[in-house]
Amino acid sequence: MQMELKQLSDEQLSEFDTDDMFVERWNLITQCIDRDFPDGKFCFLDLGGGNGIFTDRLLYRYPEARAVVLDNSELLIRRNKPNPRKTILLASVEDMEAKLAGQQFDIVFMNWLLHHLVADSYAQTRENVRSAVGLARRHLTPKGRVSVFENLCDGILLDGLPSYLIFYISSSRWLAPLTKKLGANTAGVGVCYRSERQWLALFSSVGLRAVSSQAEKEPWYIPTFKKVLLYVLHIRDLKANLFWLKAG
């Protein structure tokens, strides 16, 4: 499947050499795993797994689990630590089927990946994301789950407006110097955040339904001088959300 994907530079990618799975987020993930895979025996695919830190933490907690990390950044893939239960693949999401050769997984993780699958247009970006989720669904075992951590941008009045505005502002090369100064690491390339309702509708369109949808308890802290941007972008608040999905 061919996607039109814009790529971040190595300088931009280097800022993702981190571990964003804070205690509350980690607990949300492990609660779902412990409920649906109580024996701790499962195989998982970490799409956009980057430096492998998240995968390594899971393999440490679940000593009978096995993993595949797939990412298209050579910079981040090189930073993976070796593990006999971990396979590392340098590949793009669009090449998933060819690289995985029919493998199936009990869990497919996509942590803050989908909003980066941007193209030149908003419509093509939405199709990129839909295609990626559909590909992930096809690699599930019968008892499989898709785990998606994403940022929620719910609108104040118009639910889908922030997604549209953020995409065009963050992807604008003309505005890139300004958006970079405001803290947008993806300035000039873009991101495509969505509201909870938009994410759930997208998952449903490819045959996935939410077993649970859990947001962080508190919205992100936004400095006072930046709060005006939330109103300009029609955003009620910002927080991360875990979607735990199954086919059906």
Q: Give CA torsion, residues 79, 220, 93, 121, to 10 deg.
A: -130
Tell me the pTM.
0.92
Burial 88-116 (b: 16+ CB within 10 A, else e): bbeebbbbbeeebeeeebbbbbbbbbbbb
Report residue 247 as tokens.
Answer: 């086919």
Q: pLDDT per residue over 103-133, tens digit each?
A: 999 999 999 999 999 999 999 999 999 999 9
pLDDT value at residue 2? 64
Q: pLDDT per residue over 164-216, tens digit each?
A: 999 999 999 888 887 888 777 888 889 999 999 999 999 999 999 999 999 98
Distance between alpha carbon 159 and the CA centroid of its chain, in Å?
20
Task: Return the closest-CA partner of residue 163 out of 174, 173, 172, 152.
Answer: 152
225 confidence band (pLDDT: 50, 70, 90): low
* Cα dihedral 163, 90, 59, 142 sign: positive
CB 124 within 8 A of CB 209: no
CB 58 within 8 A of CB 52: no
